[in-house]
Chains A and B, each alone.
Chain A
Amino acid sequence: MTEDAVERPGRQLGVAGVLAVGGVLLALTALTYLLHRLPHGAWSLPVALLIAGAKGLLIALFYMHLREQRASNGLVLLTSVVFVAVLLTVCVLETRTRFRPTIPPGPFPVEPLPGRLEDPGGAHPSGPAGPREP
């Protein structure tokens, strides 16, 4: 009825295409695991997330048929991913830039609050944690 309804059935994958994408996915999974066997470093997390992102993109495009569908559907996914990224980034940045004693865990240990009867056990340090390293 409206222009939104148009699909692009010509872009559906064949069996070979589905299997090829699947092969790439499995290979990328193996790659993530192999990279993990290398020494851990600052780059580990970004690389692992990058590979996860690539896998997610492949699945969304081919297996979830985004490639065959209207751009508006892709826009929905993109918006949600952007908002997650914004929430995550802003919260982390804000936490890191606080007045230092406001950043958890703070300069001294906290007693369990009234109403909370149980001691948190092993999670609780025995002595004062002291100030965070500058």
Chain B
Amino acid sequence: MPPEAVTEHWGSEGARRQAAYLGMWVFIATEVLLFAGLFTAYGVYRSVYPEVFRAAQLTMDVGLGTLNTFLLVTSSVLVALAVHAVRGDKPGLGGALLLSAALLGVVFLAVKGVEYAHHVKEGGLPGDAYRFQAVPRVGASLFFTLYFLLTGIHALHVTVGVGVLTVLGVRSASGTFGAGYATPVELGGMYWHLVDVVWLFVYPILYLA
């Protein structure tokens, strides 16, 4: 059997951790660029149809959007606390915090569902299905298509994130993680923060200004 020095995969624990972080950051970069196309489409069409986009924006339910923003920011704080707890060798507390963050994520999705129901009732649907009489001009259907794409793909990420947080929370509560092995919780947390940050940009451009 060859000596250990040539068979071991990682040179050191530090290298393993750095590879995990770097890999996660590269993944986050790809996610950022995934949304880039949609943000670009939004920017171009908003600059071309400023009045229409403003009119369409005014029909958005700002209250629900703001509620969702608070939900996600709070869940991010909970996840950060959870990472801190796991690193401090308190996996039980960490697990509880992760699960409550996941719960907030579920509430977020529920609120989103309520909003979607409103849009379906009004006819503010993407593309062919657009029937919204309040904003009937060329370009408004683009706003709603982009709205559904941005929030829909974001909601997909939230769903995945809720799954990740739940699994991590359950495993953490059962004591899998601890001060010596916190990397999965850290990476899962980074993913959830990414989902949060993307929403922080989606929220103002769709609801506010």
Contact = CB atoms under 8 A, between A and B. Distances in A.
Interface residues of A, number: 66
B190 A84 contact: no
B136 A123 contact: yes
A125 B137 CA distance: 6
A22 B201 contact: no
B76 A59 contact: yes
Contacts of A29: 66, 69-70, 73
Contacts of A45: 204-205, 209
B101 to A, nearest CB: 12
Interface stretch (B27-35, B146-154, B159-167): B27-35
B36 A88 contact: yes
A122 B127 CA distance: 11
B208 interface: yes
Contact of B193 (A64, A69, A84): A64
**Interface SS, A side:** helix
A15 B54 CA distance: 42
Give the size category of B's interface with A.
35 or more
A15 B90 CA distance: 13
Contacts of B29: 76-77, 79-80
A109 B137 CA distance: 12
A1 B19 CA distance: 12
11 contacts: A5-B15, A14-B84, A26-B74, A44-B209, A45-B204, A51-B204, A56-B200, A64-B194, A77-B29, A88-B36, A123-B130
Given A22-B77, A76-B22, 12 more contacts: A1-B14, A1-B15, A7-B17, A48-B208, A63-B80, A64-B190, A81-B32, A87-B36, A88-B43, A104-B45, A120-B141, A121-B130
